[in-house]
Amino acid sequence: GESVGLHLPTLSVQEGDNSIINCAYSNSASDYFIWYKQESGKGPQFIIDIRSNMDKRQGQRVTVLLNKTVKHLSLQIAATQPGDSAVYFCAETLPNTGNQFYFGTGTSLTVIP
Amino acid sequence: KAGVTQTPRYLIKTRGQQVTLSCSPISGHRSVSWYQQTPGQGLQFLFEYFSETQRNKGNFPGRFSGRQFSNSRSEMNVSTLELGDSALYLCASRSEMNTEAFFGQGTRLTVV
């Protein structure tokens, strides 16, 4: 199966600081990437996505960067808030695999007030 | 617009029993996929259904099966439950035109 790894299992940041969550993927054929946020007791919630023909995509307070050369994905959260505390997963898909996502193991983000 | 609904939310079963979980996708979504989430293995793909046909299957034993109905609702079944089947089972739906997947709250299955 696919290997989608995360550099750090936990991350603590001060409220108001920027957060960066990293993710490495192994298959250069991966064509679509998603970041999900999962709060305790809830299902994963979509944050932002990016296709392999892009390097950067911005949303509200979030930015995803894709470096295909080193097969690296990052999620940047600006002005981190207590409500951002959750586990963050990156996921990738391969062409023509429908809804099959390969998920990383997750990074637990804790925001310190 | 209602989200993805999974029932039941919690379930306790005994080893050897079987269980059926239900998922109602977002209205209009025809693709439903299932994932197993455990602390040790993370989120692992079980299978995907599209228009009542299984389109993709992960690396799980045959004890795990599923189906999809004409209204896109899906069920997954696990037979001969093992302790290791204890997990959060997540269902995700997707419109055929959009790759973003929307997840339900999950069914927490505990096998004792």
pLDDT in tens, B9-42: 999 999 999 999 999 999 999 999 999 999 878 8
Mean pLDDT by 10 residues, chain A (113 residues): 53 96 90 93 94 95 96 97 96 81 91 95
How far is CA B14 from each of CA B39, B66, B68, rounded to the nearest angstrom? 21, 20, 26
* A71 min Cα distance to partner chain B (Å): 20
Collapse the DSSP code of B83 into the 3-class scheme (helix H, G, I; strand E, B; otherwise coil) and give the result: helix
- Closest by Cβ to B101, choosing from A1, A99, A104: A99
Strand partners of residue A56: A65
User: β-strand B42-50 against A56-58: which pairing, if any?
Assistant: unpaired
* B17 min Cα distance to partner chain A (Å): 25
| Rounded Cα distance, A60 and A75, in Å | 12
Q: Do B48 and A98 touch (CB under 8 A)?
A: yes
Nearest CA in chain A to B59: A1
Residue B86 pLDDT greater than 90, yes or no: yes
For residue B20, give the nearest of B67, B57, B82 by alpha carbon.
B67
Write out residues 51-80 of B within 8 Å (CB-CB) of A.
Answer: 55-56, 58-59
Collapse the DSSP code of A61 into the 3-class scheme (helix H, G, I; strand E, B; otherwise coil) and give the result: coil
Task: Kindly report the average pLDDT of chain B as a whole number.
Answer: 94
Cβ atoms < 10 Å from Cβ of A62? 17
